[in-house]
């Protein structure tokens, strides 16, 4: 039944040999990797304005400078990462770069930070996507948590089925969204120039709760930094690009940075000129769209592509999180199961774990983007900083032509992202970043102890100093429940299996049943039957005592307990039986020097 449901939802298993990667060029690559970064335009400027609004319209005036600062940061990080992707054509994620150049601890920090941020990307993107939908259709507002959970489950199922990151699928929403954004910005500017739109202050002037402080502006800037998460995604996925991989990835990086920076500045400036302030139930992008186009086709197109690109942005994390977990699992820092390939050649456990964590976040924060944003970006800037710092070490060690120049580029990247990281951590700490500042060290500790455990297991399993194989001295014990046809089959089996067999009946009902010995003597002459009492009506205890006594007295190394069990036709029938064999197996699971044979016979 479960198997049928699984086939229906996930599809039939795929052969390992069918594992393949579609290679993307510049156009396709931008489609696949821009979703994560571009989607942040849908909520980034809004979160900037939400913070600035605390200082009233005086605060909102800082929207444009913050947008320009973000664009500059995007340019610096993209330039720095261009070097990384060209140097690590098989994937230059922060974990890999840090592991190669800085050592285990920085790699763990980068890994923990990235995993945290991937979970947040899913939660924030889906919550924003739902916000775009509820801006257009406000009746859905109260169902936003349920809607978001449904989307995450849907994305999870799609990923468990194993969508390749197909450029074809991504092109429509990503280029559609880019087109809609640029169209909105251009149309907005054109209409402002032509005087069809009135520049002005927000219709409902926000009340200033505080003055404009440097801290407030920096906090607004920190909120906007969420836009940079997508750049790491390109570096993670270099191996998906067509040859020359590094060059293609670097070109995509430049295009992405250009479009992203343009859009961020464009939206910021337009929001300022149109006098738009964040509102509770309508997103800033939706307000801009409505002012520029009215509630027409273009407006609904903008909202739809916004929702779509946000869902696809979440999908990017569903590729990155399981891949990074599998990397770390292979290095022995995450549970080995994370590296298991599922039926459809995807890292199913990672996908399920990501969905579970993102759903927990959505439910815990009631699907509220503004409450999730302060947790966001700490992780990715930690990863940026370790990754760029790793590149600096890489160039110093490697040298090569122009290495001084390259050290300066990556060094500038590391410095800027490091400073921004501190700014983010400090300005958002009290608003939720403390949670991430707590989680990352905890994750690092977990990675370390997992690594320690696997190294311990490997050392214990090592063949070094192992002695040659000497046969054990084994005794086979047949557990007899009663004398019936199944017992005869079991006797046939144990006689074939082993020459040293005893039979045991555990008397758990209190009263001795003389029938069993009489029947045994009638049917079996070679193997002796021992009846042992079980005052507490359990089987495992007296059985193990009996085995231990035999091992001690007669010098056996190991005892093989054969437990016969009959198989009924269906689940309902199996409810009518005690499943003594199963329970016994479960209670013997942790016992060593005892091997348990599960012998089934048909009725």
Using CB under 8 A as the binding rule, the residues of this chain from 542 to 571 that contact a second copy are: 557-558, 560, 562, 566-568
**Binding residues for a second copy, total number by CB under 8 A:** 80
The least CB distance from residue 480 to a second copy, in Å, is 13
Does position 1 bind a second copy by CB under 8 A?
Answer: no
Q: Read out DSSP for 229-284?
A: HHHHHHHHTGGGBPSSHHHHHHHHHHHHHHHHHHHHHHHHHHHHHTT----SSS-H
Does position 90 bind a second copy by CB under 8 A?
Answer: no
Radius of gyration of the chain (CA): 32
In this complex, which beta carbon is closest to a second copy, that of residue 242 or of residue 448?
448
Of 203, 297, 552, 590, which one interacts with a second copy (CB under 8 A)?
Answer: 590
Q: Give the pair of three-digit tokens for residue 585.
A: 């197996």
Of 90, 509, 552, 553, which one interacts with a second copy (CB under 8 A)?
Answer: 509
Specify burial of residue 322 (Cβ count, 10 A radius: 0-12, 13-18, 19+): buried
Using CB under 8 A as the binding rule, the residues of this chain from 115 to 134 that contact a second copy are: none
3-state secondary structure of 62: coil
In this complex, which beta carbon is closest to a second copy, that of residue 11 or of residue 364?
11
Of 26, 239, 262, 474, which one interacts with a second copy (CB under 8 A)?
Answer: 474
Of 192, 208, 412, 488, which one interacts with a second copy (CB under 8 A)?
Answer: 488
Residue 444 CA: distances (Å) to CA of 187, 285, 484: 49, 38, 58
Q: Is the dihedral of CA 167, 71, 379, 332 positive or negative?
A: positive
Of 281, 356, 523, 549, which one interacts with a second copy (CB under 8 A)?
Answer: 523
Of 400, 469, 514, 552, which one interacts with a second copy (CB under 8 A)?
Answer: 469
In this complex, which beta carbon is closest to a second copy, that of residue 45 or of residue 486?
486
Does position 166 bind a second copy by CB under 8 A?
Answer: no
Helices (H) and strands (E) in the chain, counts: 24, 5
Does position 589 bind a second copy by CB under 8 A?
Answer: yes
In this complex, which beta carbon is closest to a second copy, that of residue 65 or of residue 451?
451
Tell me how far apart the alpha carbons of residues 36 and 316 are, in angstroms, rounded to a whole number: 7
Of 279, 498, 532, 551, which one interacts with a second copy (CB under 8 A)?
Answer: 498
Classify residue 287 as left (phi > 0), alpha (psi -120 to 50) or beta: alpha
Does position 483 bind a second copy by CB under 8 A?
Answer: yes
In this complex, which beta carbon is closest to a second copy, that of residue 298 or of residue 488?
488
Q: Read out DSSP for 380-398?
A: HHHHHHHHHHHHHHHHHHH
The least CB distance from residue 320 to a second copy, in Å, is 22
Tell me how far apart the alpha carbons of residues 333 and 352 are, in angstroms, rounded to a whole number: 19
In this complex, which beta carbon is closest to a second copy, that of residue 192 or of residue 558?
558
Phi then psi dihedrals of residue 477, to 5 deg: -115, 125
Specify burial of residue 436 (Cβ count, 10 A radius: 0-12, 13-18, 19+): buried
Does position 297 bind a second copy by CB under 8 A?
Answer: no
Using CB under 8 A as the binding rule, the residues of this chain from 326 to 385 that contact a second copy are: 335-337, 340-341, 343
Using CB under 8 A as the binding rule, the residues of this chain from 4 to 43 that contact a second copy are: 13-17, 19
Residue 321 CA: distances (Å) to CA of 198, 344, 394, 446, 530: 45, 17, 25, 17, 57
Tell me how far apart the alpha carbons of residues 21 and 346 are, in angstroms, rounded to a whole number: 12
The least CB distance from residue 379 to a second copy, in Å, is 24
Phi then psi dihedrals of residue 276, to 5 deg: -100, 135
* Interface stretch with a second copy, choices 29-37, 315-323, 408-416, 518-526 (CB under 8 A): 518-526
* Interface stretch with a second copy, choices 58-66, 76-84, 425-433, 455-463 (CB under 8 A): 455-463
In this complex, which beta carbon is closest to a second copy, that of residue 189 or of residue 454?
454
Does position 456 bind a second copy by CB under 8 A?
Answer: yes
- Cβ–Cβ < 8 Å for 114, 377: no
The least CB distance from residue 506 to a second copy, in Å, is 12
Angle at 50 between CA 45 and CA 52, to 5 degrees: 95
């Amino acid at each position: 039944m479960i198997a049928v449901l699984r086939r229906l939802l996930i599809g039939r298993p795929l052969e390992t040999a069918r594992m393949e990667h579609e290679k993307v060029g510049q156009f396709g690559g931008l489609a696949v990797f821009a979703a994560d970064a571009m989607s942040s335009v849908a909520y980034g400027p809004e979160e900037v304005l939400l913070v600035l609004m605390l200082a009233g319209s005086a605060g909102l005036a800082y929207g444009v400078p913050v947008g320009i600062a973000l664009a500059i940061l995007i340019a610096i990080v993209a330039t720095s990462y261009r070097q990384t992707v060209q140097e690590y054509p098989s994937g230059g994620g922060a974990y890999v770069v840090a592991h190669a150049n800085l050592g285990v601890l920085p790699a763990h920090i980068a890994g923990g930070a990235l995993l945290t941020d991937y979970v947040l990307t899913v939660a924030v993107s889906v919550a924003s996507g739902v916000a775009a939908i509820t801006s257009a259709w406000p009746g859905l507002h109260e169902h936003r948590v349920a809607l978001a959970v449904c989307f995450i489950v849907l994305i999870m199922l799609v990923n468990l089925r194993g969508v390749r990151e197909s450029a074809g699928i991504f092109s429509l929403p990503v280029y559609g969204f880019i087109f809609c954004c640029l169209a909105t910005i251009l149309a907005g500017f054109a209409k402002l120039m032509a005087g069809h739109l009135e520049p002005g202050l927000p219709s409902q002037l926000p009340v200033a709760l505080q003055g404009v402080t440097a801290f407030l502006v920096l906090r607004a800037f920190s909120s906007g930094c969420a836009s940079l998460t997508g750049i790491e995604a390109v570096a993670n996925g270099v191996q998906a690009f067509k040859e020359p991989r590094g060059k293609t990835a670097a070109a995509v990086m430049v295009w992405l940075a250009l479009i992203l920076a343009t859009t961020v500045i464009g939206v910021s400036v337009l929001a300022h000129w149109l006098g738009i302030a964040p509102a509770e139930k309508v997103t800033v992008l939706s307000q801009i769209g409505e002012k520029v186009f009215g509630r027409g086709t273009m407006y609904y197109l903008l909202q739809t592509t916004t929702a779509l690109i946000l869902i696809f942005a979440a999908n990017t994390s569903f590729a990155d999180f399981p891949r990074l977990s599998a990397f770390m699992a292979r290095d022995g820092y995450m549970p080995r199961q994370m590296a298991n390939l599922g039926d459809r050649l995807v890292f199913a456990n990672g996908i399920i774990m990501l969905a579970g964590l993102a759903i927990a976040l959505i439910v815990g924060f009631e699907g509220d983007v503004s409450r999730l944003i302060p947790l966001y970006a700490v992780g990715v800037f930690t990863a940026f900083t370790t990754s760029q710092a790793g590149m600096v070490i890489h160039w110093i060690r490697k040298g090569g032509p122009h290495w001084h120049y390259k050290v300066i580029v990556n060094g500038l990247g590391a410095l800027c992202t490091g400073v921004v990281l501190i700014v983010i951590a400090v300005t958002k700490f009290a608003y939720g970043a403390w949670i991430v500042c707590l989680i990352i060290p905890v994750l690092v500790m977990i990675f370390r102890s997992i690594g320690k455990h696997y190294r311990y297991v490997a050392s214990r399993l090592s063949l070094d100093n192992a002695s040659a194989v000497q046969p054990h001295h084994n005794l086979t014990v047949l557990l007899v429940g009663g004398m019936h046809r199944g017992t005869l089959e079991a006797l046939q089996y144990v006689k074939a299996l082993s020459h040293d067999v005893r039979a045991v009946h555990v008397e758990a009902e209190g009263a001795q049943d003389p029938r069993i010995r009489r029947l045994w003597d009638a049917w079996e002459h070679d193997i002796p039957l021992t009846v042992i009492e079980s005052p507490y009506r359990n089987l495992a205890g007296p059985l193990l005592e009996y085995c231990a006594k035999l091992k001690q007295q007669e010098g056996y190394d190991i005892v093989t307990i054969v437990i016969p069990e009959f198989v009924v036709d269906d689940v309902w029938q199996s409810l009518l039986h005690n499943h003594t064999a199963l329970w016994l197996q479960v209670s013997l699971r942790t016992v060593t020097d005892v091997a348990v044979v599960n012998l089934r016979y048909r009725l």
